[in-house]
């Protein structure tokens, strides 16, 4: 069943979904689809496959296309998926975005071209405008990906304004992974009808209260049940839940993000295949794993929720 394209991505709690790998180093389609379904059953409103957390830039273009097609063949709804399609090469970004659209996924999360540093807004405007024009599909919705710590190429408010002025609703939103709440709030305040997601569930309550649309977060792969509770709580009762969610997020940030979450999922599913990562990443060391077990033990509600979710 092919998803029906939609113009608007779901709001709420979205996981920047992990990519399960085979021992040979290619995406495991069956596990990936199963994990996405698990996330959608256990608190996530949507998923963002093939982003930073999905190890996308360590996966070949052909393997990424095949995974997109596998997710579509499984019938994962179009309004609940935003596919990471950013690459350094414009042609690769165009090809991957077209693949997503052909599979039924109109929403794409696109990193700026990140190899050359110190590029100007004019250069980035040329890149994103060429992407929109070459894709040439009215259904396409571009979500900019602001992650300066990783890409070293920021997406400025001025650039967003220029792109919105030129292309309107095609430039639909942004994931702000800067960790700078002031920047996120500035974008929410500056661009009405522009869909701003925080890159961490640490800011979920603040984002929603300010008029944003939620979060797209790496650690939601394991915090989804609690994040959903925060989102759906009465605003007057949200603070203690958000405090625990933030504490868990900060504790997990002390470990290599992708190997740590894969190890957590291995523990709670009993599937050792979760340990596989793409080089240059390495599995969590035993010492790190033991330390993470101790830290996770400080959050009994989190442990209980992920254990129940893993059984579902």
d(CA 55, CA 266): 18
Q: Which of 105, 145, 197, 203 is catalytic?
A: 145
Distance CA 119, CA 132 (A): 19
Catalytic option among 6, 19, 52, 219: 52
pLDDT at 54: 98
Query: pLDDT tens digit string along 42-58?
Result: 999 999 999 999 999 99
- For 239, other C-beta atoms within 10 Å of its C-beta total 11
Query: What is the structure's pLDDT at 6?
Result: 54
Per the annotation, the verdict on 295 as an active-site residue is no
* pLDDT tens digits along 210-226: 999 999 999 999 999 99
Greater pLDDT, 2 or 145: 145
CA–CA separation, 288 and 152 (whole Å): 28
Instruction: Report DSSP state, residue 175.
Output: E
The one catalytic residue in 53, 97, 143, 175 is 175
Across the range 277-295, mean pLDDT stands at 94
**Is 30 annotated as catalytic?**
no
Q: Tell me, yes or no, if 175 is annotated catalytic.
A: yes
Q: Is the pLDDT of residue 3 over 70?
A: no
Per-residue pLDDT band at 10 (split at 50, 70, 90): very high
How does pLDDT run across 172-229, given as a tens digit for each residue? 999 999 999 999 999 999 999 999 999 999 999 999 999 999 999 999 999 999 999 9
Q: Mean of the pLDDT values across residues 4-17? A: 83
Q: Would you kindly state where each structural domain of the chain is located, as residue ranges?
A: 12-235
How many Cβ atoms sit within 10 Å of the Cβ of residue 287? 8
pLDDT in tens, 86-116: 999 999 999 999 999 999 999 999 999 999 9
Q: What is the pLDDT of residue 301?
A: 66
Tokens linked to 13:
């709690």
pLDDT mean over 17-23: 97
pTM, full prediction: 0.94
Instruction: Supply φ then ψ for residue 18, to 5 degrees.
Output: -65, 155
Report the C-alpha gap between 130 and 124 in whole angstroms: 10
Judge contact between 85 and 97, C-beta under 8 A.
yes
User: What mean pLDDT is reported for the chain?
Assistant: 94
Separation CA 167–CA 170 (nearest Å): 6
Q: How many other β-carbons are positioned within 10 Å of the β-carbon of residue 200?
A: 25
In which band, very low, low, confident or very high, does the pLDDT at 164 lie, cut at 50, 70 and 90? Answer: very high
User: Within its chain, how far is the Cα of 240 from the centroid?
Assistant: 25
Decide if 98 contacts 90 (C-beta within 8 A).
no
Average confidence (pLDDT) over 243-271: 93
Using the predicted structure, report yes or no on whether residue 131 has a pLDDT greater than 70.
Answer: yes
Q: Any catalytic annotation for residue 145?
A: yes
What pLDDT is stored for residue 299 in this prediction? 83
Other C-beta atoms closer than 10 Å to the C-beta of 211 total 11
The catalytic residue among 115, 116, 285, 295 is 115
At the fourth CATH level, which superfamily is domain 12-235?
A: Aldolase class I (3.20.20.70)
pLDDT given for residue 298 in this prediction: 82
């Amino acid at each position: 069943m092919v998803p029906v394209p939609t113009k608007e991505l779901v709001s709420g709690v979205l996981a920047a979904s992990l990519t399960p790998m085979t021992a040979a180093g290619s995406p495991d389609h069956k596990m990936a689809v199963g994990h996405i379904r698990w996330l959608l059953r256990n608190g996530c409103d949507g998923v963002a496959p093939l982003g930073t957390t999905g190890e996308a830039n360590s996966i070949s273009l052909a393997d990424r296309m095949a995974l997109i097609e596998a997710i579509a063949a499984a019938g994962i709804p179009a309004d609940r998926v935003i596919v990471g399609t950013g690459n350094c090469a414009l042609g690769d970004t165009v090809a991957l975005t077209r693949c997503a659209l052909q599979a039924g996924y109109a929403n794409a999360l696109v990193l700026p071209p990140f190899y050359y540093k110190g590029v100007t807004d004019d250069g980035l405007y040329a890149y994103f405008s060429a992407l929109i024009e070459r894709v040439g599909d009215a259904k396409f919705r571009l979500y900019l990906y602001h992650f300066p710590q990783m890409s070293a190429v920021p997406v400025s408010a001025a650039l967003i304004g220029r792109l919105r002025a030129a292309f309107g609703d095609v430039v639909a939103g942004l994931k702000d992974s800067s960790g700078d709440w002031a920047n996120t709030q500035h974008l929410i305040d500056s661009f009405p009808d522009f869909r701003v997601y925080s890159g961490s569930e640490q800011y979920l309550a603040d984002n929603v209260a300010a008029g944003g649309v939620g979060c797209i977060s790496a650690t939601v792969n394991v915090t989804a049940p609690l994040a959903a509770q925060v989102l759906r709580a009465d605003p007057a009762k949200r603070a203690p839940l958000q405090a625990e969610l933030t504490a868990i997020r900060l504790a997990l940030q002390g470990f290599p993000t992708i190997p740590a979450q894969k190890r957590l999922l291995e523990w709670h599913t009993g599937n050792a295949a979760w340990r596989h990562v793409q080089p240059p990443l390495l599995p969590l060391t035993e010492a790190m794993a033991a330390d993470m077990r101790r830290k996770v033990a400080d959050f009994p509600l989190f442990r209980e929720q992920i254990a129940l979710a893993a059984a579902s």
